[in-house]
Amino acid sequence: MKKLIPLLLPVLVAAAFAPAAASAQDLKVALIAGKTGVLEAYAKETETGFMMGLEYLTGGKMEINGRKLKVIVKDDQSKPDLGRTLLAEAYGDDKVDIAVGTSSSGSAIAMLPVALEYKKVLIVEPAVADAITGDKWNRYIFRTARNSTQDAAAAAAVSPAGSYAFLAQDYAFGRDGVKAAKVALAAAGRKTNVVHEEYAPQTATDFTASAQRLFDALKDKPQPRVLSIVWAGPHPMNKIADMKPERYGITLAPNGNILPVLKTWKNFGGTEGTIYYYYAFPKNKMNDWLVAEHTKRYKAPPDMFTAGGFAAASAVVTALTRAGSGDSEKLVAAMEGMEFETPKGKMSFRKEDHQAIQSMYHFRIKKQQKSEWDLLELVREIPASEMPVPVRNKR
C-alpha cells in the first residue's frame, strides 16, 4: 500500500488544483460591428456603450464570478459574408463563450446559422430586422435591440388615420420595416391607406426620382398625406424636404435616429415621431451614470446605439453570472425569460423567440432648442404592453 502513495500523490494534487485552474480561465466575448462602411457611426456607439456597460456592471474590475472578462472586437464592415466568417472565427479559433453583433441586419442574418452550427449564443445588437427573431431564428439567438415590429408598433401608436407612402432602404432593415409598419397601421384600428412603397439603395444620395414617385402617389389621396422614412445611416429627410413635399400637402414622418442626424432637423420643430432611446428620457440610476460619464469623457451625451451597446453588456454580464460559466446550454437556460437592467429600464428576453421586450418613446422635435443637444421633448413613454409583438418563429 505504501508503494502506491507516491504514484497517487501527483494525481490527487492535480485534481485538487483543477477547479481553481478552470475558474481562473478568462471568459471571452466577441463584439462584431460594422466599424467601417455606411453604419460606422452606429458601430462605434455600440462599442462605446458595450465597454462602458461592462465597466459599470463589473465595478471597473472586468470580472465575472472571479474570472477575467476578455473582449475581442471584430469589424465586419456591414458585409454579410465577412460577418459570417468573423463569427465562425470567434467561436472556432478564439473560443469565445458568447458573441454580440452586429450593426447591419443583412450581416446579422448571415451570422445566425453560424451560432447554430457552433451551438454558441449570439446576442444581436443593434440589427433590427424582424427575420432575426422570426423565420431565420434559432435557439442560440437572443436580441437586446428592438425589432422592426416594435419600431412600427410604436410609430403606429402615434400615427393619424390617412394616406401613407414609404421610403426605405432596399435590404432587410428597410423591407422588414415597411412590412411591419403596414401591419402595425392596420392593427392600430385607424383608417389608413398605404399607396406606395419606394426602395432605394442603402448608399443612395440622390432621391430626386424616388421623391417624385412618392409625391405623385400621394398628392391626390385623402389627407393627411404622410411620407414615412425608414432609413439607417446618413438620413435623407432634409433632401426630401428640399423638394417641398408641402406643395402637395405631404408631411414627413421620420423614424428616430442618432444625435448627429437629429441635430439637422431643427427646421422640423413640432414634428413628432418615436425613438428607441434619447438620453434625457429615461430616469434611472444606470442611465444617470451613463449620461454623466459619457458627457464627461466624450463632451456629448450618449446616443441611441450607445444605450443599445450598454444593454447588450448588461445581458452578457447577467447571463454569465447566472449561468456560472460560459457553457452554451447553461447560458440558454439562464437567458430564456431573463430580466436585466438597461439605461432604458428593465428588459426581458421573451422565452418564445428571445426578443427583448422593452418600452419606446414618443417624442416631439423642440422648436426652441437651448443647447447643442437639447433636441427632443418627451411626449410619453410607450410601454411594451401597448406594442404587441407577434411570435414569428417556428419554435
Q: What is the CATH number of the domain that holds 191?
A: 3.40.50.2300
| One domain for residues 159 and 206 | yes
| One domain for residues 83 and 203 | no
Considering only residues 27 and 183, tell me which one the structure prediction assigns the higher pLDDT. Answer: 27
pLDDT at position 291: 98
| Distance from the Cα of residue 283 to its chain's centroid | 20
Measure the CA–CA gap between 26 and 70, rounded to whole angstroms: 6
In a domain, 6, yes or no: no
pLDDT at position 188: 79
Q: Can you name the residues that pair with 330 across neighbouring β-strands?
A: none
| One domain for residues 334 and 215 | no
Average pLDDT over residues 235-261: 92
In a domain, 395, yes or no: no
Q: Is the confidence at residue 251, as pLDDT, over 50?
A: yes
Q: pLDDT band at 186, cuts 50/70/90?
A: confident
Phi, psi of 297 (to 5 degrees): -80, -40
Q: Is the dihedral of CA 339, 342, 347, 349 positive or negative?
A: negative
| One domain for residues 374 and 247 | yes
Say if residue 277 is exposed, middle or buried (CB neighbours under 10 Å; 0-12, 13-18, 19+). Answer: buried
In a domain, 121, yes or no: yes
Percent of the chain with pLDDT over 70: 94
Q: Is the confidence at residue 90, as pLDDT, over 50?
A: yes
Query: Judging by DSSP bridges, how do beta strands 272-275 and 360-365 pair with one another?
Result: antiparallel
| One domain for residues 30 and 133 | yes
| One domain for residues 243 and 341 | no
Least confident of 72-76, 323-327, 379-383, 385-389: 385-389
Q: Is the confidence at residue 293, as pLDDT, over 70?
A: yes
| One domain for residues 45 and 189 | no
Q: Is the confidence at residue 360, as pLDDT, over 90?
A: yes
Say if residue 241 is exposed, middle or buried (CB neighbours under 10 Å; 0-12, 13-18, 19+). Answer: middle
Considering only residues 123 and 268, tell me which one the structure prediction assigns the higher pLDDT. Answer: 123
Query: 21: how many CB neighbours lie within 10 A of its CB?
Result: 9
| One domain for residues 104 and 51 | yes
pLDDT at position 254: 79
In a domain, 336, yes or no: yes
In a domain, 165, yes or no: yes
Measure the CA–CA gap between 377 and 275, rounded to whole angstroms: 11
Considering only residues 183 and 318, tell me which one the structure prediction assigns the higher pLDDT. Answer: 318
Tens-place pLDDT, residues 4-49: 334 333 433 444 444 434 345 999 999 999 999 889 999 999 999 9
Measure the CA–CA gap between 332 and 343, rounded to whole angstroms: 23
Residue of 110, 37, 47 whose CA lies nearest to 313: 47
Alpha-carbon distances of 207 from 36, 220, 265, 323, rounded to whole Å: 24, 21, 18, 50
Q: pLDDT band at 160, cuts 50/70/90?
A: confident
In a domain, 164, yes or no: yes
Which three cell numbers, joined as nine digits, stand for 307?
A: 444605450
| One domain for residues 109 and 206 | no
Considering only residues 203 and 278, tell me which one the structure prediction assigns the higher pLDDT. Answer: 278
Least confident of 11-20, 34-43, 91-100, 312-321: 11-20
Phi, psi of 371 (to 5 degrees): -150, 180
Q: Is the confidence at residue 274, as pLDDT, over 70?
A: yes
Average confidence score pLDDT of the chain = 91
Query: 314: how many CB neighbours lie within 10 A of its CB?
Result: 22
Say which residues have a Cβ less than 8 Å from residue 340's Cβ, sequence separation at least 6. Answer: 311, 314, 315, 318, 346, 347, 348
| One domain for residues 239 and 333 | no
pLDDT at position 247: 95
| One domain for residues 204 and 86 | no
Residue of 237, 226, 243, 122 whose CA lies nearest to 182: 226
In a domain, 2, yes or no: no
Prediction pTM value: 0.87
Say which residues have a Cβ less than 8 Å from residue 11's Cβ, sequence separation at least 6. Answer: none
Least confident of 2-16, 61-75, 78-92, 208-222: 2-16
Average pLDDT over residues 134-158: 93
| One domain for residues 136 and 214 | no
Q: pLDDT band at 105, cuts 50/70/90?
A: very high
Domain count, the chain: 2
Tens-place pLDDT, residues 52-66: 999 999 999 999 999
Query: 234: how many CB neighbours lie within 10 A of its CB?
Result: 15
Average pLDDT over residues 149-155: 90
Q: pLDDT band at 1, cuts 50/70/90?
A: very low
| Domain carrying residue 188 | 149-275+361-386
In a domain, 237, yes or no: yes
Average pLDDT over residues 312-341: 97
pLDDT at position 24: 54
Contact 112, 132 (CB under 8 A): yes
pLDDT at position 9: 38
Measure the CA–CA gap between 334 and 328, rounded to whole angstroms: 10
pLDDT at position 232: 83
- Helix (H, G, I), strand (E, B), or coil: what is residue 280? coil
